[in-house]
Structure formats: structure tokens, C-alpha cells
Structure 1
């Protein structure tokens, strides 16, 4: 018996040493030293440990702030992600219970009759029918000796899965707020374009009245009247197109805020929104700031733990199951010493042949880990692309917007000159129409570029993982 115990202890030590779950380490990714910057950008110093919300307040729009709060409170998408996080945490707690013994208590009260014709255990003794009570109270313990690391790997995987769900919730929140801000910016940009069209329509109607009056006096031809009417009709058509686009953004905002689209409306407002100042930091900051990168990294930890679970199938499964209880024919003697019963047991199972199932499961887990590593690197590369796109895009849009507003001022001067020359008879009305169309085009282009700057700012904040509370906001401004 002593030799057997020593042999069992030695076998357990070997199993514990050979079946340890694979250690997890985050794979290295190649990151540039700095972003590819162009004036007026320069590197900032954001604090990655700070809170990453509510970044939308940087745009200084009370209406946007109120909509974001409604979305965070009422969004079904965010509620789904929160529920999944609760499930993942509960699953991690349930899996962690496998590290501890499971205790149970049971009782049974029975009155039973045995058969006189039951099979005999001894042919020299007769069998009799008996009627008696059988009262039992038992306490049972069950514990899996985690020699192969299966339980530890499962617990590590469940905890990493819960952390992944937490990162997914943060990412859902970031995506929700960014999508809402983008739709809101697009809607307000359309408000500006509709205002441009409204002013152009007023101008074109006054021009139509003028050319009609000149036609009635014989100073203008019918062709000039028809030309001006055509310009007005074309502009009126564009209004309906923009109103349709605005309605679509309005409906999208309603859905994001958890409001039925027929019950939601946003009145037209001309907002003077300015892109916020955004500190860039270093490319490596993305690994700490972006929740989708954190989620991908936790997915690798989950896949690594699955390798440990699959690897444990090659080793014996050992379970301890002691029990103690009381059994008696009469309840009055239940707690007497003579009613005590107990058992001590150890069960061990070792698969000898499974037609390659364990090896296939291990290969499957290893391939899943390799896929999660590739996914992680892809997410990091995509994140760097999004940030670099935002940096170059804002710099270019800033210069284009400045030039567009200069073009608007020039187009207005050209229209004034064309009107004066036409009224003085120095030119044809075609020059006036051309100047009107040029002004309308320039004003709409300026509005669109301003909207694109705001939209790119939203996407850059999203690409950087959110806001920096208390960061050095003077670090960069396109």
C-alpha cells in the first residue's frame, strides 16, 4: 500500500508538470515610431488611463449632447452588449466554481416491501418478504483534481471572455456615439445646404422678376426669361433631393436614440460647429485606447485557454468523491453512531483510443489561436490606417475649406459685377446666369467641405479610441 501511494503521488506530480496550460503572452506587432504628420499637426501627449467619454461635448453643440445621452440610455444595441457582458461575467463565476469542491446534501424517506421471490444470495437460506422503513441523510463532496490543468484553462478562458465582453461593450458605446455624431453632422450640413438653396432661390426669383419686367418693357428677350426660369426650376428640384437625404439622417438618429422614427423630428438649425482640437499621441497608444483592439487581444487569451482545455484531454481525469451519511429504519435512531455510513472514493479515467479526436480538438484549438493572432494584427493595422486617414484628411480639408470660402466671396463679387454690367447693357444675361450658378456651386461646396471636416473629426476621435479627459488639447488642430 505504501508503494502504491508513492507511485500515485509520483504520477500526479508528473501529470501536473506535463499538462500545465500554455502560458499566454500578447504577440508583438510592428508599430511606427510616430504618425506621418503634416502641418499644422504635431504630436500630443494624451493620458491613456483617463476616461474616454463623453468626447462629443468637444463639438460644443447642446442638441448633439442631448441626443448622445438619449442614445446611451435607450439604445437597444447598447442594451444587448450590456446583457452579453452580464452573461459573460456570470459564466466566468460559474466556471470558477470548478476550482472548489462541490458539496451537496440529500435525504430520503421511504417505506418499502421486499419480494419473497427475489433471487437468493445463498441457496441454503430462505427469502422472506419484509416491510420496513429506509430513512437516509447524506452529505457528498465532489472535487476534480485539476492535474491536467483543464479547469484552470477553462477558468482563464471564461475570465478572458468576460473581459472581452467588457471591451465589446466599450466598443459598442464608441461606435454608437460616433455613428450618432456622424449622422447629426451630416444632417446639420444639409441644413446649411438647404439654407444656401433657399437664399439662391430668393435671388433667382428676384432675378426672374427683373428680367420679366425688362422683357415686358422690350429690353430683354423671351430667351432670357426662359433661361432664368430654367435655372430656378433646377434649383427647386435640388431642394427636394436634399430634403429626402435629411429625412433619412433624421430617421437614423431616431433609431440610434431608441425612438420610433414617426415620433421623432429635429427642427432645422444653422449650427456653427468647429472641429475640436485632437491630441494624437504615439501610435502605440492605440493598443491601450481602442476597445476593439482590447477585445481582439482578449480573444487571443480565450483561444489560448482553449488550447489548455484541449491538451488536458490527453491526460487522466481524476475525481475525488467522499461522502458521509446516516441510514436507519426508524427516525428515532437516525443520529445514533450505529446509523453512520461513509465512503471514500477516487475515480480516474484515461482515454486509450478515440480515433484521433483529442488530437483533432487540439489542432482545432491551435488553429483558432493562430486565427485570433492574425485578427488582432489586422485590427491594429486597420486602426493605424483609420488614424492616418483622419490626420491627412483633416489637414487637406482644412486647406480646401479655407479656399472654398475664398471662392464664395469671389463668386459674390462676380455676380454683383455681372448684374451691374447686364443692367448697363454691357453684357448678355447669360453672364448673370453663369455667375448665379457659380455662386450656388461655391456656397454648396463650402458647406460640404465644412461638413466633411466635422465628419472626419468624428471618425478620427473614433479611430483614436475616444476622448482624452484633461489632455493637452492645444497639441494639434487642423
Structure 2
């Protein structure tokens, strides 16, 4: 048997007898994701406004608002944050490809021409050597044998990192979709509250006219007119605030769409009422939530990458074996290509940096990183459940508050109408009518604010549910 065959057999036997060092990744049994309570139905989902149906991919389409659908699609295509996330993903995939390439052979070609003079004494000669034209041409090929799994673990870490970046890109899409809907809803809420304030101002202006006519007819008092005008001024003072909120929503929406404020016309948020759902809001359960949320997937993949890096650090404690081959020509330039200048070599190269305290410390540091990533993963899981339960609870309680405010508004509207008719007929003092109008104005404003809060609650709940990245 030749020496070359013996070397190959020795290396093959060593390769068969070794495995990747470091822990194989599996989600620890004590992870928060594995708790039965994490997969249970939501505690706060017991009301008619939500259902246990799974959340659809494009949840904003549940509003059945074509303009909103178009805005979300534009944002997902042009948002700057999504572009950053996409670039980070491309970088991570390129890194993964580069790490994968380390497992293959590597080749190098060299060529050199120089006019030089060698030292005679270097060859134990006393005479001076002549100046010559020398040439060197060579080809070398090397292949690292992954005896202890360093390259395998590095590949696992790079793949998990790329998957984490893919989840981060999904999270960016979730956030942009929700914030686009939020900006649109804010603009609609401002339009709704502006319409309510204008309607109340219009009613109050009618009261001013009534007070003015009664005063001109000798049946009223100057103080009644002054009070009516003061109430009208107070209602008018609310209008600029809602106009400013409309502008702010439009400017925010423009940024989400990748546009300058001047590029988005006011008509983009010119709506007089918040979009509402035509069906109960689908929320699913905890198990579906944790599978869907991109931040949970991202944290889990970062834990996998950290676990693989333990193997990379551990493999540094062991020898590295590279099988290499080289061939070429070295000699006088005119002899390059001739047998006399030919050289070649074949064989393994074993290198080993004897482990010291620093190498072992790097292994401990990698294990600590994995422990930190597990703790972070548990925190992300628990936070996802907390956010969803909180959003569900707020939504349920704000729904009840909205129903109570609507009932109060209806009663205030009836009382205000009765008092206006009694005052116009001279059968009740103006203060009674004024107080009733104030109560109605406050009830209308409170109900409009509650409608706006409900609309935001829905967006918050959709955001907590983590949908919108599936495209």
C-alpha cells in the first residue's frame, strides 16, 4: 500500500471517528414556549366582538375599505424601514453563502517574474552568483477536513442568523402594515371628531340666533345671548385641534409610504368616520399566536445561532487538518515549463494551537451567550402573550364604555331637543336649554373620542396578534 493511500485511510478513519463538538440545538424543555398555558385560549377573549377563528394574512382587508387596502400595499412596497430589513436579509444570506463555501476546496494561482541575485553563501558558495531572470508559476488546492465540526457549526449559526433576519424582515412588514392602518384610522378619527364638533357648533349657532331673536322681540335677556355666544366660541375652539390631528395623520402616512408630506394629498385621510369590522375580530389562540409572531421566530432562531456558536468555539480547542496539493515551476525564466523547473507536493497539514485559558474562556462566553438568548426568547414569548391579553382586555372594556357613552349621548340629545323647544316657546329659562346643550356637546365629544379609542384598540390588537407578513 502506498504512503498516499495510507494517509487517505488514516484521515478517513479519523473523520469517521469524530463528530461535531458542542451541543446539537433543540429547544430546551423549560422554555416558556413549551408551557401548556402558553398555547391555551386567551383569557380575555370571552366577548361577542372577538372570535377564536384564525387571523387572516391580510387582516386589514377585514375593514373592506379599498382606499385603506391600497395604502397598505403601497407602504409594504415602498417603506424605508422595510427596505432596510430587506437589505439586512440579503446581507445575512450572503454571509451564509460565504460560510457554506468554507466547506469546499479552495484554489490559488500564483505567478511571479523578477530579476534577482541570490546569495552565494546561502548555498555554501564563496563566489558571487550571477544576476538572472527568475520565474515562478504555481497552483495550490486546499481542503479543510471538518473533523470536529467547526465548519458545520459555523454553517448552522449562519443559517439560523439568516432565518432570524428573515423573521426581522417579517416583523418590519407587520409593523408597517399596522402603523399605516393606525395613521389612516387617526385621520378618520380626527375627521369624525371634527364633524361632531362642527355639528354641535351648528346647533349652538342656532341657539345664538334664537337668543338674538328673542332679545330683539323683547322676550329675552342680554345675558342669555352672551352665554349662547360664549358656548359657541368654546365649541369653535375645538376645531383647530382636530384639523391639526388630520394633518399629523397625513404627514405620518406619507412617511410610511416613503413620500414627502407634500406628495400625499389631504384626500388620502379625508374620511368622516373610522373604518369598522363587519364581523367579530378573529384572534385564534396562544399556540397560533406564538407560531405567527415574527419576533418569537426571530428570538428562537437567534437562540439556535448562539447554540451553534458554542460548537464553533469548542472546535477551536482541537487540531485543524487541511489536505492540500500544489504544483508548478520555479527556476530561470527560460526554464519555466520544463521538467527541470517542475515541482509538486501532496499531503495533509495538521495545525493545532494548544488550548489556553483564553480559548476555554471563549467557550464559556459562547455558553453564556446561549443562556442569554434563551432568557431573551422566554421574555419575547411572555411579552407576546402579555401584549395580546392586554389588548383584548382593553378592547372588551372600551367596547362596554362605548356602549354606555352611546346610551348617554342618546338621552342627552333627547333632553337637549326638548329644552330647546321649551325655551323657544318661552316655557323654560335659557339656562336650562344651555345646560342641556352643554351636556349634549360633552356626550358627543366623549362618544367620538371613545370611537377613536376603539379604532386604535383594534389596530393594537391586530399588531399584537402579529399578522400581516404573510404575502
Could you say whether these structures have the same fold, taking a TM-score greater than 0.5 normalized by the shorter chain as the test? yes
Residues in 2 aligned to 1:453 and 1:204: alpha-carbon distance in whole angstroms: 28
Q: Which residue of 2 aligns with 1:249?
A: 249
After the TM superposition, which residues 18-417 of structure 1 pair with which residues of structure 2 at under 5 Å, given as runs?
20-27=21-28, 28-29=31-32, 30-32=35-37, 33-36=40-43, 37-40=45-48, 44-46=52-54, 53-114=57-118, 118-122=120-124, 125-267=125-267, 268-271=270-273, 273-275=275-277, 277-330=280-333, 334-352=336-354, 354=356, 356-417=357-418
Measure how far apart 1:287 and its partner are. 2.3
Q: 1:158 to 1:190 in 2, by over 3 A?
A: same
8 Å CA contact 1:144, 1:320 repeated in 2: yes
Measure how far apart 1:394 and its partner are. 2.9
Q: 1:325 to 1:278 in 2, by over 3 A?
A: farther
* Runs of 5+ unmatched residues, structure 2: none
8 Å CA contact 2:72, 2:177 repeated in 1: yes
Count of residue correspondences: 458
Q: Which residue of 2 aligns with 1:475?
A: none
Q: 1:98 to 1:10 in 2, by over 3 A?
A: closer
1:141-190 deviations in whole A, cap 9, x for unaligned?
Answer: 12222222221111111111111111100100000110111121111011
TM-score (norm 1): 0.88
TM-score (norm 2): 0.89
Structure 1 stretch 75-84 or stretch 315-324: which is displaced more? 315-324
Measure how far apart 1:309 and its partner are. 1.4
Q: 1:288 to 1:221 in 2, by over 3 A?
A: same
Q: 1:178 to 1:198 in 2, by over 3 A?
A: same
* Structure 1 outlier segments of 4+, above 6 Å: 4-8
Q: Which residue of 1 aligns with 2:420?
A: 419
8 Å CA contact 2:49, 2:281 repeated in 1: no
8 Å CA contact 1:120, 1:127 repeated in 2: no
8 Å CA contact 1:46, 1:468 repeated in 2: no
8 Å CA contact 1:40, 1:395 repeated in 2: no
8 Å CA contact 2:51, 2:280 repeated in 1: no
CA-based RMSD of the aligned residues comes to 2.8
SS in 1 for 2:199: helix
8 Å CA contact 1:167, 1:295 repeated in 2: yes
